[in-house]
Amino acid sequence: MTYKQLFENIKKKQSYLCVGLDTDINKIPKHLLNNENPIFEFNKKIIDATQKYTIAYKPNTAFYESMGAQGWENLHLTINYIKNTYPDILVIADAKRGDIGNTSKMYADAFFNKLNSDAVTVAPYMGEDSIKPFLKFKNKWIIVLALTSNKGAFDFQFTKENNEFLFEKVIKKCKSWGDHNNIMYVVGATKAKKLQEIRQIAPNNFLLVPGIGAQGGTIEEVAKFGLNKNCGLIVNSSRGIIYADNTENFAKAAAKNAYILQQKMKTTLQKL
């Protein structure tokens, strides 16, 4: 998917919502457990119900890996289902990979070729050769961890050298390896005010923003400090949408919560 295609879809749907598919067998509605494949059944129903309000889905690999080979197969089935049924929607494999060049090449193959995801999240600790192999794929994206939404973000990401934080250094270095057509950054909604400073360094890149809802951030604040002329934001909600209800009504409840967020996003997009 290209930058332009992504922005077109945002304009069409008046949304920059990403739904996080952190699907946990212990949290899905009990009646689904009678299905042959409860996880995939849950995902399909969530996707069908929320796709109107959504421009991206983000399956979190941890939740699938914890189910072994069948989990990996469910990840594959889920991504294929999205790409075959709703090809305009961006699929982000939230994998946070990163290794030496030889290994990152294998990860890029796994996520872009085999799983057919459009984007993969990447941890920057190991530097250039952990990032570059992903950038060789046309119309695919990496989303580099910059300033994350969790408490632990304060441990290392604010390490300061020459008046520059580590997360700023990460963004600046990445700019020499790729551009807004193949790199996005993760910036947590819980650090929304920092978005203003990050926009100085990365004016054109899309930012993937987790941390609204369960983690405490708000759309209004994220939009205020993060929107650029091509929107430039993908805001994720996982638990607040997919676990909105755990009865037979779960998909409708998920759609309702997605709709509420989309409506808020629509308001913030009027200014573009």
In the numeric block, which tokens belong to residue 167? 């997360």
Looking at the DSSP bridge assignments, the partners of residue 19 are 57, 237
Please report, as ranges, the residues that interact with its own copies according to CB under 8 A.
22, 24, 60, 62-63, 65-73, 76, 94, 96-104, 106-107, 109-111, 114-115, 123-131, 145, 148-157, 159-161, 166, 169-170, 173, 215
Q: What are phi and psi of 184, to 5 degrees?
A: -120, 170
Q: Which residue of the set 13, 27, 44, 96 is catalytic?
A: 96
Minimum Å gap between C-beta 106 and its own copies is 4
Do 81 and 44 touch, CB atoms closer than 8 A? Answer: yes
In the complex with its own copies, the residue whose CB is nearer, 168 or 264, is 168
76-89 as b/e: b if 16+ CB within 10 A: bebbebbbeebeeb
In the complex with its own copies, the residue whose CB is nearer, 145 or 208, is 145
Side-chain half-sphere of 149: how many Cα atoms within 13 Å? 22
Active site residue 138: no
Minimum Å gap between C-beta 68 and its own copies is 5
In the complex with its own copies, the residue whose CB is nearer, 42 or 53, is 42
Cα angle, residue 15 at apex, residues 10 and 16 outer, rounded to 5°: 75
- d(CA 216, CA 19) in angstroms, rounded, equals 16
Minimum Å gap between C-beta 171 and its own copies is 12
In the complex with its own copies, the residue whose CB is nearer, 161 or 271, is 161
Strands 160-161 and 164-165: antiparallel
Minimum Å gap between C-beta 37 and its own copies is 13
Residues recognised as catalytic: 96
